Structure 1
Amino acid sequence: MNSVTYQPSEQALSDFQSDSKVRVTEVKDGYKFESTDDQQIKEPNIIFYPGGLVEPISYSPLARELAKSGHRVYIANMPLNLSIFGQNKADSFLAEYPKESYVIGGHSLGGVFASRYAVEHTEKLKGVFFLASYADEDGALKDTNLSVLQLTGTNDGVLNKKQWEKSKKNLPKDTAFVSINGGNHSQFGSYGMQDGDQKPTISESKQIETIVMAMKEWFMQMNITP
Protein backbone atom coordinates (compact mmCIF):
# COMPACT_ATOMS: atom_id res chain seq x y z
CA MET A 1 0.00 0.00 0.00
CA ASN A 2 2.98 2.32 0.55
CA SER A 3 3.38 3.00 -3.17
CA VAL A 4 0.05 4.87 -3.26
CA THR A 5 0.00 6.25 0.27
CA TYR A 6 0.87 9.92 0.79
CA GLN A 7 3.65 10.16 3.37
CA PRO A 8 4.09 12.96 5.92
CA SER A 9 6.54 15.72 4.99
CA GLU A 10 9.65 16.55 7.01
CA GLN A 11 7.66 19.40 8.57
CA ALA A 12 4.87 17.01 9.58
CA LEU A 13 7.36 14.57 11.12
CA SER A 14 8.92 17.43 13.06
CA ASP A 15 5.52 18.68 14.30
CA PHE A 16 4.66 15.15 15.45
CA GLN A 17 7.25 15.42 18.24
CA SER A 18 6.32 16.56 21.73
CA ASP A 19 7.99 19.73 22.98
CA SER A 20 7.58 22.33 25.73
CA LYS A 21 4.29 23.62 24.25
CA VAL A 22 2.50 20.59 22.80
CA ARG A 23 2.34 17.00 24.03
CA VAL A 24 1.83 14.34 21.35
CA THR A 25 0.75 10.87 22.46
CA GLU A 26 -0.40 7.69 20.76
CA VAL A 27 -3.86 6.68 21.94
CA LYS A 28 -6.29 3.93 21.01
CA ASP A 29 -7.28 4.47 17.35
CA GLY A 30 -4.92 7.36 16.68
CA TYR A 31 -2.93 10.27 18.06
CA LYS A 32 -3.63 13.08 20.52
CA PHE A 33 -2.18 16.60 20.48
CA GLU A 34 -2.70 18.82 23.53
CA SER A 35 -1.16 21.79 25.25
CA THR A 36 1.39 21.00 27.95
CA ASP A 37 -0.28 23.73 30.00
CA ASP A 38 -3.39 22.09 31.46
CA GLN A 39 -4.76 25.52 32.37
CA GLN A 40 -4.83 26.48 28.69
CA ILE A 41 -6.84 23.50 27.44
CA LYS A 42 -10.32 24.54 26.33
CA GLU A 43 -13.31 23.06 24.57
CA PRO A 44 -14.31 21.83 22.12
CA ASN A 45 -12.04 18.85 21.61
CA ILE A 46 -11.42 18.20 17.91
CA ILE A 47 -11.67 14.83 16.15
CA PHE A 48 -10.03 14.65 12.73
CA TYR A 49 -10.42 12.05 9.96
CA PRO A 50 -7.56 12.07 7.38
CA GLY A 51 -8.01 12.20 3.62
CA GLY A 52 -7.97 9.00 1.59
CA LEU A 53 -4.56 7.29 1.40
CA VAL A 54 -2.96 10.06 3.48
CA GLU A 55 -1.01 8.97 6.54
CA PRO A 56 -2.46 10.59 9.70
CA ILE A 57 0.85 12.12 10.80
CA SER A 58 0.62 14.31 7.68
CA TYR A 59 -1.88 16.49 9.59
CA SER A 60 0.51 17.17 12.48
CA PRO A 61 1.15 20.84 11.51
CA LEU A 62 -2.59 21.61 11.69
CA ALA A 63 -3.10 19.56 14.87
CA ARG A 64 -0.12 21.24 16.54
CA GLU A 65 -1.39 24.77 15.79
CA LEU A 66 -4.86 23.93 17.11
CA ALA A 67 -3.33 22.37 20.23
CA LYS A 68 -1.17 25.46 20.77
CA SER A 69 -4.38 27.52 20.77
CA GLY A 70 -5.73 25.29 23.57
CA HIS A 71 -7.81 22.63 21.84
CA ARG A 72 -7.23 18.92 22.32
CA VAL A 73 -6.94 17.28 18.88
CA TYR A 74 -7.37 13.63 17.97
CA ILE A 75 -6.25 12.34 14.57
CA ALA A 76 -7.74 8.96 13.68
CA ASN A 77 -5.49 6.22 12.33
CA MET A 78 -7.59 4.54 9.62
CA PRO A 79 -7.25 0.95 8.36
CA LEU A 80 -5.38 1.09 5.03
CA ASN A 81 -5.50 4.91 5.44
CA LEU A 82 -9.13 4.90 4.26
CA SER A 83 -11.87 6.27 6.51
CA ILE A 84 -14.45 4.05 4.80
CA PHE A 85 -13.00 1.26 6.97
CA GLY A 86 -12.89 3.29 10.17
CA GLN A 87 -16.00 5.44 10.36
CA ASN A 88 -16.48 4.71 14.08
CA LYS A 89 -12.91 5.50 15.19
CA ALA A 90 -14.28 8.57 16.98
CA ASP A 91 -15.93 6.35 19.60
CA SER A 92 -12.75 5.89 21.64
CA PHE A 93 -11.88 9.61 21.49
CA LEU A 94 -15.34 10.64 22.72
CA ALA A 95 -15.03 8.14 25.56
CA GLU A 96 -11.84 9.72 26.90
CA TYR A 97 -13.51 12.94 28.13
CA PRO A 98 -17.23 12.10 27.97
CA LYS A 99 -18.34 15.25 29.81
CA GLU A 100 -16.53 17.63 27.46
CA SER A 101 -17.73 18.98 24.11
CA TYR A 102 -16.45 17.76 20.75
CA VAL A 103 -16.52 18.64 17.07
CA ILE A 104 -15.64 16.22 14.28
CA GLY A 105 -14.43 16.74 10.75
CA GLY A 106 -11.91 15.76 8.17
CA HIS A 107 -10.09 16.33 4.93
CA SER A 108 -11.48 15.13 1.60
CA LEU A 109 -12.76 11.53 2.02
CA GLY A 110 -12.25 11.88 5.78
CA GLY A 111 -14.82 14.67 5.96
CA VAL A 112 -17.42 12.55 4.17
CA PHE A 113 -17.15 9.79 6.78
CA ALA A 114 -16.86 12.22 9.67
CA SER A 115 -20.26 13.64 8.68
CA ARG A 116 -21.72 10.15 8.39
CA TYR A 117 -20.51 9.48 11.93
CA ALA A 118 -21.91 12.81 13.13
CA VAL A 119 -25.40 12.06 11.81
CA GLU A 120 -25.49 8.90 13.94
CA HIS A 121 -24.07 10.60 17.07
CA THR A 122 -25.58 14.10 17.07
CA GLU A 123 -26.13 14.06 20.83
CA LYS A 124 -22.38 13.71 21.45
CA LEU A 125 -21.17 16.45 19.11
CA LYS A 126 -21.42 20.23 18.73
CA GLY A 127 -20.37 20.58 15.11
CA VAL A 128 -18.83 19.22 11.91
CA PHE A 129 -16.08 20.77 9.79
CA PHE A 130 -15.11 19.96 6.21
CA LEU A 131 -11.68 20.63 4.69
CA ALA A 132 -12.03 20.32 0.90
CA SER A 133 -14.87 17.90 1.54
CA TYR A 134 -18.65 17.62 1.70
CA ALA A 135 -21.62 15.84 3.28
CA ASP A 136 -23.08 13.16 1.03
CA GLU A 137 -26.63 11.79 1.31
CA ASP A 138 -25.65 9.37 4.08
CA GLY A 139 -24.05 12.20 6.03
CA ALA A 140 -26.73 14.85 5.46
CA LEU A 141 -26.68 17.35 8.33
CA LYS A 142 -29.49 19.68 7.25
CA ASP A 143 -31.99 18.32 9.79
CA THR A 144 -29.58 18.32 12.75
CA ASN A 145 -28.75 21.01 15.30
CA LEU A 146 -25.03 20.70 14.55
CA SER A 147 -22.97 23.75 13.59
CA VAL A 148 -21.14 23.30 10.28
CA LEU A 149 -17.99 24.85 8.81
CA GLN A 150 -16.93 24.35 5.17
CA LEU A 151 -13.38 25.27 4.05
CA THR A 152 -12.11 25.07 0.48
CA GLY A 153 -9.09 26.35 -1.47
CA THR A 154 -9.43 28.29 -4.73
CA ASN A 155 -6.56 26.30 -6.31
CA ASP A 156 -7.95 22.87 -5.39
CA GLY A 157 -7.59 20.53 -8.38
CA VAL A 158 -8.76 17.37 -6.57
CA LEU A 159 -12.12 18.26 -5.01
CA ASN A 160 -15.05 17.41 -7.28
CA LYS A 161 -16.55 20.90 -7.51
CA LYS A 162 -19.82 19.71 -9.09
CA GLN A 163 -20.35 17.16 -6.34
CA TRP A 164 -19.38 19.72 -3.70
CA GLU A 165 -21.89 22.26 -5.07
CA LYS A 166 -24.63 19.63 -5.33
CA SER A 167 -24.01 18.48 -1.76
CA LYS A 168 -24.73 21.92 -0.27
CA LYS A 169 -28.38 20.83 -0.03
CA ASN A 170 -27.27 18.37 2.67
CA LEU A 171 -26.03 21.16 4.95
CA PRO A 172 -27.88 23.46 7.38
CA LYS A 173 -28.84 26.91 6.07
CA ASP A 174 -26.50 28.63 8.51
CA THR A 175 -23.39 26.69 7.41
CA ALA A 176 -20.27 28.87 7.45
CA PHE A 177 -18.35 28.80 4.15
CA VAL A 178 -14.70 29.91 3.99
CA SER A 179 -12.72 30.05 0.75
CA ILE A 180 -8.93 30.16 1.10
CA ASN A 181 -7.54 32.28 -1.72
CA GLY A 182 -4.58 30.49 -3.32
CA GLY A 183 -4.97 27.37 -1.18
CA ASN A 184 -5.03 23.93 -2.78
CA HIS A 185 -6.14 20.42 -1.78
CA SER A 186 -2.82 19.05 -0.55
CA GLN A 187 -1.98 21.90 1.81
CA PHE A 188 -4.83 21.05 4.16
CA GLY A 189 -2.27 18.47 5.21
CA SER A 190 1.50 18.28 4.78
CA TYR A 191 2.45 15.46 2.39
CA GLY A 192 3.57 17.09 -0.85
CA MET A 193 1.51 17.49 -4.01
CA GLN A 194 -1.41 15.13 -4.48
CA ASP A 195 -2.02 13.73 -7.96
CA GLY A 196 -4.23 16.06 -9.98
CA ASP A 197 -3.89 19.01 -7.62
CA GLN A 198 -3.10 22.56 -8.74
CA LYS A 199 -0.13 24.55 -7.51
CA PRO A 200 -0.95 26.80 -4.55
CA THR A 201 -0.12 30.50 -4.54
CA ILE A 202 0.19 30.65 -0.75
CA SER A 203 2.52 28.72 1.54
CA GLU A 204 1.49 25.62 3.44
CA SER A 205 1.97 27.43 6.74
CA LYS A 206 -0.25 30.30 5.56
CA GLN A 207 -3.00 27.90 4.52
CA ILE A 208 -2.86 26.10 7.87
CA GLU A 209 -2.87 29.44 9.70
CA THR A 210 -6.02 30.42 7.79
CA ILE A 211 -7.72 27.12 8.68
CA VAL A 212 -6.91 27.59 12.37
CA MET A 213 -8.23 31.18 12.36
CA ALA A 214 -11.48 30.07 10.68
CA MET A 215 -11.97 27.25 13.15
CA LYS A 216 -11.32 29.47 16.17
CA GLU A 217 -13.88 31.98 14.87
CA TRP A 218 -16.34 29.13 14.34
CA PHE A 219 -15.82 27.96 17.93
CA MET A 220 -16.53 31.49 19.21
CA GLN A 221 -19.81 31.58 17.29
CA MET A 222 -20.77 28.24 18.85
CA ASN A 223 -20.46 29.86 22.26
CA ILE A 224 -19.37 26.66 23.99
CA THR A 225 -19.09 26.95 27.75
CA PRO A 226 -17.33 24.21 29.73
Structure 2
Amino acid sequence: MIGFWAVRSAVTLGALVSVWAAVSTGSMLVHGHPAYTVILAVTFVVCVVVAVRSWRRRVVVRRRLRPLRVVAFGLGVIVIAAVAWLVPSSADEPALAAMRSDAAVTVTEDATEIVLTPTGTVRATGVFFQPGARVDARAYAAVLRPLAEAGHLVVIPKQPLGIAFLSAAAFGGARSAHASVTQWVVGGHSLGGTVAAIDAGSFAGASTWKVVGLLLYASYPATDMSGLGARVLSVSGSNDGLATPAKIDAAKPSLPADTQYVVIAGGVHAFFGDYGPQAGDGVAGVSHDDARTQIEQASVTFVNGFDG
Protein backbone atom coordinates (compact mmCIF):
# COMPACT_ATOMS: atom_id res chain seq x y z
CA MET A 1 0.00 0.00 0.00
CA ILE A 2 2.82 2.42 0.87
CA GLY A 3 4.60 1.72 -2.41
CA PHE A 4 1.35 2.06 -4.35
CA TRP A 5 0.66 5.54 -3.01
CA ALA A 6 4.32 6.56 -3.19
CA VAL A 7 4.37 5.85 -6.94
CA ARG A 8 1.09 7.68 -7.45
CA SER A 9 2.33 10.72 -5.57
CA ALA A 10 5.76 10.79 -7.21
CA VAL A 11 4.57 10.59 -10.81
CA THR A 12 1.79 13.12 -10.23
CA LEU A 13 4.30 15.48 -8.66
CA GLY A 14 6.71 14.78 -11.52
CA ALA A 15 4.15 15.82 -14.13
CA LEU A 16 3.34 19.01 -12.22
CA VAL A 17 7.03 19.82 -11.71
CA SER A 18 7.69 19.37 -15.43
CA VAL A 19 4.92 21.82 -16.32
CA TRP A 20 6.13 24.31 -13.71
CA ALA A 21 9.72 23.99 -14.95
CA ALA A 22 8.64 24.55 -18.57
CA VAL A 23 6.69 27.67 -17.63
CA SER A 24 9.55 28.97 -15.48
CA THR A 25 12.09 28.30 -18.24
CA GLY A 26 10.04 30.30 -20.73
CA SER A 27 11.87 31.33 -23.91
CA MET A 28 14.88 29.27 -22.86
CA LEU A 29 12.95 26.23 -24.11
CA VAL A 30 13.65 27.62 -27.59
CA HIS A 31 16.83 29.61 -27.04
CA GLY A 32 18.66 27.25 -24.69
CA HIS A 33 20.52 24.04 -25.39
CA PRO A 34 17.90 21.39 -26.34
CA ALA A 35 19.07 18.89 -23.69
CA TYR A 36 16.92 20.40 -20.93
CA THR A 37 13.84 20.63 -23.15
CA VAL A 38 14.23 16.96 -24.07
CA ILE A 39 14.54 15.95 -20.41
CA LEU A 40 11.46 18.00 -19.52
CA ALA A 41 9.42 16.43 -22.30
CA VAL A 42 10.49 12.86 -21.50
CA THR A 43 9.90 13.34 -17.76
CA PHE A 44 6.43 14.78 -18.37
CA VAL A 45 5.37 12.00 -20.78
CA VAL A 46 6.67 9.19 -18.58
CA CYS A 47 5.08 10.66 -15.45
CA VAL A 48 1.72 11.20 -17.16
CA VAL A 49 1.65 7.65 -18.59
CA VAL A 50 2.54 6.06 -15.25
CA ALA A 51 0.18 8.38 -13.36
CA VAL A 52 -2.77 7.51 -15.62
CA ARG A 53 -2.14 3.79 -15.25
CA SER A 54 -1.67 4.12 -11.50
CA TRP A 55 -4.76 6.24 -10.84
CA ARG A 56 -6.96 4.02 -13.05
CA ARG A 57 -6.06 1.01 -10.93
CA ARG A 58 -8.66 0.77 -8.18
CA VAL A 59 -7.31 -2.32 -6.44
CA VAL A 60 -3.91 -2.55 -4.79
CA VAL A 61 -2.01 -5.48 -6.26
CA ARG A 62 0.26 -7.21 -3.80
CA ARG A 63 3.77 -7.59 -5.22
CA ARG A 64 7.09 -8.55 -3.74
CA LEU A 65 9.30 -5.57 -3.03
CA ARG A 66 12.12 -6.11 -5.49
CA PRO A 67 15.39 -4.16 -5.40
CA LEU A 68 15.00 -3.08 -9.03
CA ARG A 69 11.67 -1.44 -8.28
CA VAL A 70 13.16 0.42 -5.35
CA VAL A 71 16.10 1.58 -7.49
CA ALA A 72 13.78 2.67 -10.32
CA PHE A 73 11.63 4.63 -7.88
CA GLY A 74 14.70 6.29 -6.35
CA LEU A 75 16.10 7.23 -9.75
CA GLY A 76 12.74 8.67 -10.75
CA VAL A 77 12.65 10.88 -7.67
CA ILE A 78 16.21 12.05 -8.41
CA VAL A 79 15.28 12.94 -12.01
CA ILE A 80 12.24 14.92 -10.84
CA ALA A 81 14.38 16.81 -8.31
CA ALA A 82 17.00 17.49 -11.00
CA VAL A 83 14.34 18.86 -13.36
CA ALA A 84 13.32 21.37 -10.69
CA TRP A 85 16.90 22.29 -9.75
CA LEU A 86 18.02 22.78 -13.36
CA VAL A 87 15.50 25.52 -14.15
CA PRO A 88 17.76 28.20 -15.68
CA SER A 89 17.95 31.93 -15.09
CA SER A 90 16.70 33.53 -18.30
CA ALA A 91 18.22 36.60 -19.90
CA ASP A 92 16.58 39.99 -19.58
CA GLU A 93 17.34 43.49 -20.81
CA PRO A 94 19.68 44.88 -21.99
CA ALA A 95 21.05 41.47 -22.98
CA LEU A 96 18.03 40.67 -25.16
CA ALA A 97 18.44 43.94 -27.04
CA ALA A 98 22.12 43.13 -27.55
CA MET A 99 21.09 39.92 -29.35
CA ARG A 100 19.88 41.94 -32.34
CA SER A 101 22.21 42.50 -35.29
CA ASP A 102 23.02 46.02 -36.44
CA ALA A 103 25.56 47.85 -38.61
CA ALA A 104 28.42 47.02 -36.22
CA VAL A 105 27.75 43.44 -35.12
CA THR A 106 26.02 40.43 -36.67
CA VAL A 107 24.47 38.10 -34.12
CA THR A 108 23.85 34.47 -35.07
CA GLU A 109 22.33 31.83 -32.83
CA ASP A 110 21.74 28.11 -33.13
CA ALA A 111 20.99 25.26 -30.74
CA THR A 112 24.50 25.13 -29.27
CA GLU A 113 26.05 28.60 -29.45
CA ILE A 114 25.75 32.34 -29.97
CA VAL A 115 28.27 34.12 -32.18
CA LEU A 116 28.84 37.88 -32.26
CA THR A 117 30.71 38.76 -35.45
CA PRO A 118 32.06 42.24 -36.24
CA THR A 119 30.71 43.51 -39.57
CA GLY A 120 34.00 45.29 -40.29
CA THR A 121 37.53 43.99 -39.99
CA VAL A 122 37.80 41.01 -37.67
CA ARG A 123 40.84 41.06 -35.44
CA ALA A 124 43.17 38.12 -34.98
CA THR A 125 42.08 37.58 -31.37
CA GLY A 126 38.74 35.94 -30.70
CA VAL A 127 36.88 35.45 -27.41
CA PHE A 128 35.27 32.22 -26.23
CA PHE A 129 33.14 32.78 -23.13
CA GLN A 130 31.51 30.14 -20.87
CA PRO A 131 28.30 31.23 -19.05
CA GLY A 132 27.77 30.68 -15.34
CA ALA A 133 25.91 27.63 -14.05
CA ARG A 134 22.25 27.45 -15.15
CA VAL A 135 22.39 30.88 -16.76
CA ASP A 136 20.99 31.69 -20.20
CA ALA A 137 23.86 32.17 -22.67
CA ARG A 138 22.05 35.24 -24.02
CA ALA A 139 22.46 36.92 -20.62
CA TYR A 140 26.08 37.78 -21.53
CA ALA A 141 25.32 39.41 -24.88
CA ALA A 142 25.30 42.98 -23.55
CA VAL A 143 28.50 42.77 -21.49
CA LEU A 144 30.40 40.97 -24.29
CA ARG A 145 29.03 42.89 -27.28
CA PRO A 146 31.56 45.76 -26.86
CA LEU A 147 34.30 43.19 -27.59
CA ALA A 148 32.63 42.43 -30.93
CA GLU A 149 32.19 46.15 -31.59
CA ALA A 150 35.95 46.47 -31.03
CA GLY A 151 36.55 43.90 -33.79
CA HIS A 152 36.77 40.60 -31.90
CA LEU A 153 34.75 37.53 -32.80
CA VAL A 154 32.86 36.38 -29.68
CA VAL A 155 31.52 32.84 -29.18
CA ILE A 156 29.19 31.99 -26.28
CA PRO A 157 28.37 28.27 -26.00
CA LYS A 158 24.97 27.05 -24.87
CA GLN A 159 25.81 24.49 -22.21
CA PRO A 160 23.85 21.23 -21.91
CA LEU A 161 21.66 21.57 -18.80
CA GLY A 162 23.41 24.88 -18.08
CA ILE A 163 26.53 23.16 -16.68
CA ALA A 164 29.87 24.36 -18.06
CA PHE A 165 31.60 21.03 -17.52
CA LEU A 166 29.15 19.45 -19.97
CA SER A 167 30.40 21.78 -22.73
CA ALA A 168 34.10 21.24 -22.03
CA ALA A 169 34.66 20.19 -25.65
CA ALA A 170 32.92 23.24 -27.12
CA PHE A 171 36.06 25.36 -27.34
CA GLY A 172 37.79 22.80 -29.52
CA GLY A 173 34.88 22.99 -31.93
CA ALA A 174 34.96 26.79 -31.97
CA ARG A 175 38.67 26.81 -32.81
CA SER A 176 38.04 24.60 -35.84
CA ALA A 177 34.89 26.44 -36.95
CA HIS A 178 36.54 29.87 -36.84
CA ALA A 179 39.94 29.13 -38.30
CA SER A 180 40.44 32.78 -39.34
CA VAL A 181 40.90 33.63 -35.66
CA THR A 182 44.56 32.92 -35.00
CA GLN A 183 44.54 33.27 -31.21
CA TRP A 184 41.98 33.16 -28.45
CA VAL A 185 41.07 34.64 -25.11
CA VAL A 186 38.96 32.14 -23.17
CA GLY A 187 36.80 33.35 -20.33
CA GLY A 188 33.79 32.67 -18.22
CA HIS A 189 31.59 33.69 -15.35
CA SER A 190 31.65 31.76 -12.07
CA LEU A 191 31.71 28.01 -12.87
CA GLY A 192 32.17 28.97 -16.52
CA GLY A 193 35.42 30.67 -15.61
CA THR A 194 36.64 27.53 -13.87
CA VAL A 195 36.07 25.52 -17.05
CA ALA A 196 37.63 28.29 -19.16
CA ALA A 197 40.75 28.00 -17.01
CA ILE A 198 40.95 24.31 -17.93
CA ASP A 199 40.79 25.26 -21.63
CA ALA A 200 43.51 27.86 -21.06
CA GLY A 201 45.76 25.26 -19.51
CA SER A 202 45.12 22.82 -22.36
CA PHE A 203 45.59 25.21 -25.29
CA ALA A 204 48.00 27.90 -24.11
CA GLY A 205 50.91 26.00 -25.68
CA ALA A 206 49.12 25.00 -28.89
CA SER A 207 50.97 25.58 -32.15
CA THR A 208 47.85 26.99 -33.87
CA TRP A 209 44.76 28.80 -32.55
CA LYS A 210 46.41 28.98 -29.16
CA VAL A 211 45.02 30.57 -26.01
CA VAL A 212 46.84 33.80 -25.19
CA GLY A 213 44.52 35.10 -22.46
CA LEU A 214 42.17 34.04 -19.67
CA LEU A 215 39.29 36.32 -18.67
CA LEU A 216 37.68 35.50 -15.33
CA TYR A 217 34.40 37.07 -14.23
CA ALA A 218 33.78 36.45 -10.50
CA SER A 219 35.71 33.22 -10.84
CA TYR A 220 38.95 31.40 -10.12
CA PRO A 221 40.61 28.13 -11.20
CA ALA A 222 40.07 24.82 -9.44
CA THR A 223 43.73 23.82 -9.72
CA ASP A 224 47.15 25.47 -9.58
CA MET A 225 47.65 27.50 -12.78
CA SER A 226 50.44 29.73 -11.55
CA GLY A 227 52.61 28.56 -14.44
CA LEU A 228 50.03 29.29 -17.14
CA GLY A 229 51.61 30.59 -20.32
CA ALA A 230 48.88 33.16 -20.96
CA ARG A 231 47.94 36.54 -19.54
CA VAL A 232 45.06 36.66 -17.05
CA LEU A 233 42.48 39.28 -16.10
CA SER A 234 40.32 38.66 -13.03
CA VAL A 235 37.28 40.93 -12.66
CA SER A 236 35.30 40.57 -9.43
CA GLY A 237 32.78 42.44 -7.29
CA SER A 238 33.50 43.75 -3.82
CA ASN A 239 29.97 42.82 -2.64
CA ASP A 240 29.80 39.41 -4.34
CA GLY A 241 28.15 36.93 -2.00
CA LEU A 242 29.22 33.84 -3.97
CA ALA A 243 32.70 34.45 -5.42
CA THR A 244 33.51 36.55 -2.37
CA PRO A 245 36.57 38.81 -2.14
CA ALA A 246 38.01 36.33 0.37
CA LYS A 247 37.71 33.49 -2.17
CA ILE A 248 39.25 35.62 -4.94
CA ASP A 249 42.18 36.50 -2.65
CA ALA A 250 42.64 32.88 -1.56
CA ALA A 251 42.90 31.79 -5.21
CA LYS A 252 45.60 34.32 -6.14
CA PRO A 253 48.50 31.87 -5.56
CA SER A 254 46.84 29.57 -8.15
CA LEU A 255 47.16 32.23 -10.87
CA PRO A 256 50.27 33.71 -12.52
CA ALA A 257 52.04 36.42 -10.54
CA ASP A 258 51.37 39.01 -13.26
CA THR A 259 47.58 38.46 -13.22
CA GLN A 260 45.63 41.71 -13.46
CA TYR A 261 42.89 42.23 -10.88
CA VAL A 262 39.97 44.61 -11.31
CA VAL A 263 37.47 44.92 -8.46
CA ILE A 264 34.09 46.50 -9.18
CA ALA A 265 33.31 48.50 -6.04
CA GLY A 266 29.82 47.52 -4.90
CA GLY A 267 29.49 44.88 -7.63
CA VAL A 268 27.73 41.55 -7.03
CA HIS A 269 27.80 38.13 -8.68
CA ALA A 270 24.73 38.65 -10.86
CA PHE A 271 26.09 41.89 -12.36
CA PHE A 272 28.38 39.96 -14.71
CA GLY A 273 25.37 39.05 -16.81
CA ASP A 274 21.76 40.16 -17.23
CA TYR A 275 19.55 37.47 -15.71
CA GLY A 276 18.10 38.99 -12.56
CA PRO A 277 19.05 38.49 -8.90
CA GLN A 278 20.77 35.32 -7.74
CA ALA A 279 20.21 33.39 -4.51
CA GLY A 280 23.04 33.80 -2.03
CA ASP A 281 24.41 36.92 -3.67
CA GLY A 282 25.42 40.07 -1.81
CA VAL A 283 23.74 43.47 -1.74
CA ALA A 284 24.81 45.79 -4.56
CA GLY A 285 26.47 49.09 -3.78
CA VAL A 286 26.53 50.29 -7.37
CA SER A 287 24.00 50.29 -10.22
CA HIS A 288 23.99 47.37 -12.61
CA ASP A 289 24.58 49.71 -15.56
CA ASP A 290 27.63 51.29 -13.93
CA ALA A 291 29.05 47.89 -13.02
CA ARG A 292 28.48 46.56 -16.54
CA THR A 293 30.27 49.56 -18.05
CA GLN A 294 33.30 48.99 -15.83
CA ILE A 295 33.38 45.28 -16.71
CA GLU A 296 33.10 46.07 -20.42
CA GLN A 297 35.90 48.61 -20.32
CA ALA A 298 38.28 46.32 -18.45
CA SER A 299 37.50 43.43 -20.81
CA VAL A 300 37.95 45.43 -24.02
CA THR A 301 41.23 46.93 -22.82
CA PHE A 302 42.52 43.47 -21.90
CA VAL A 303 41.54 41.73 -25.16
CA ASN A 304 42.63 44.65 -27.37
CA GLY A 305 46.11 44.32 -25.86
CA PHE A 306 46.75 41.09 -27.72
CA ASP A 307 46.50 42.74 -31.16
CA GLY A 308 49.18 45.37 -30.57
- Report if aligned partners of 1:102, 1:126 keep a CA contact under 8 Å in 2: yes
Please report the RMSD computed on the Cα atoms of aligned residues, expressed in angstroms.
Answer: 1.9
Aligned to 2:235: 151
Question: 2:214 matched to 1:121?
Answer: no
CA distance in 2, matches of 1:75, 1:155: 26
**1:220, distance to aligned residue in structure 2 (A):** 4.7
Cα deviation digits, residues 79-104 of structure 1 (max 9, x gap): 00110211121112111333511110
Q: Which moves more between the two structures, 195-204 or 87-96?
A: 195-204
CA distance in 2, matches of 1:152, 1:144: 20
Name the one with the larger helix percent: 2
**1:161, distance to aligned residue in structure 2 (A):** 4.3
Aligned to 1:84: 165
* Structure 1 gap segments, 5+ residues each: none
Question: 2:129 matched to 1:48?
Answer: yes
CA distance in 2, matches of 1:129, 1:26: 23
Cα deviation digits, residues 179-224 of structure 1 (max 9, x gap): 01121110100001111112323222222221121123223544x3
Cα deviation digits, residues 46-73 of structure 1 (max 9, x gap): 0000000101011110122221122111
In the superposition, the TM-score normalised over structure 2's length comes to: 0.67
**1:170, distance to aligned residue in structure 2 (A):** 1.3
Name the one with the larger strand percent: 1
- Could you tell me which amino acid in structure 1 is paired with residue 190 of structure 2? S
- Could you tell me which amino acid in structure 2 is paired with residue 132 of structure 1? A
- Could you tell me which amino acid in structure 2 is paired with residue 14 of structure 1? A
CA distance in 1, matches of 2:270, 2:178: 31
Cα deviation digits, residues 94-138 of structure 1 (max 9, x gap): 11333511110100000001101221121211011100000111x
Aligned residues: 220
- Could you tell me which amino acid in structure 2 is paired with residue 81 of structure 1? G
Runs of 4+ in structure 1 over 4 Å off: none
2:219 to 109, 133, 141: 133
After superposition, the Cα gap between the structure-2 partners of 1:119 and 1:159, relative to the gap in structure 1 and judged at 3 Å, is same
Aligned to 2:147: 66
- Report if aligned partners of 1:154, 1:181 keep a CA contact under 8 Å in 2: yes
